[in-house]
Amino acid sequence: MPSIPLFKVLVNDLDEAVSFYTGKLGMSLLEDERLDHYRWVLVGYPEQPGFGINLDLAITEEEKALVGGQAAGLPMFSIATDDCRGNYEAMLARGIEFEGPPQTQPWGTAVTLRDVAGNRVHMSQDA
């Protein structure tokens, strides 16, 4: 059966991105390998084995232009939670920038945050 083990997020500073994704979003550093001219970084939630986010340093001008805008202004990815408001308060206390407070809709509660590269990230809780 096909699966999606990872997706790539371009960043300007790998150390800053690792710090954000692990320290503020609560992910774990799954892999951090330094090769000759490349650093492979994978972060993710240990409760979700087999999937991670590959944080990749933007090198070329084309890549640098995409940092923070890979999803063309839409959320880059979504985080599912069973306590959107509680996670919002905890993340707000850790200095995460949100576009506003959580909003309750008929389908659940959601909020949008920005990662360290400026990407929009959607966090939601089903009703």
* 1: in domain: no
The answer to whether 17 and 117 are in contact (CB under 8 A) is yes
User: Residue ranges of the alpha helices (H) in the chain?
Assistant: 14-19, 61-66, 84-93
The whole-number mean pLDDT for each consecutive block of 10 residues of the chain, a chain of 127 residues, reads 91 98 96 94 94 96 95 93 97 96 96 95 96
How many domains in the chain?
Answer: 1
In terms of phi and psi (left: phi > 0; alpha: psi -120 to 50; beta: otherwise), the region of 107 is alpha
* 39: in domain: yes
Give the domain CATH number at 25: 3.10.180.10
Tell how far CA 63 is from the center of its chain. Answer: 18
pLDDT of residue 27: 96
Give me the half-sphere count of Cα atoms (radius 13 Å) on the Cβ side of residue 31.
Answer: 16
pLDDT of residue 3: 84
* 19: in domain: yes
pLDDT of residue 1: 83
With DSSP H G I counted as helix, E B as strand and the rest as coil, what are the percentages for the chain, rounded to 5? Answer: 20, 40, 40
Domain extent at residue 78: 6-126
- Does pTM top 0.75 for this prediction? yes
* 75: in domain: yes
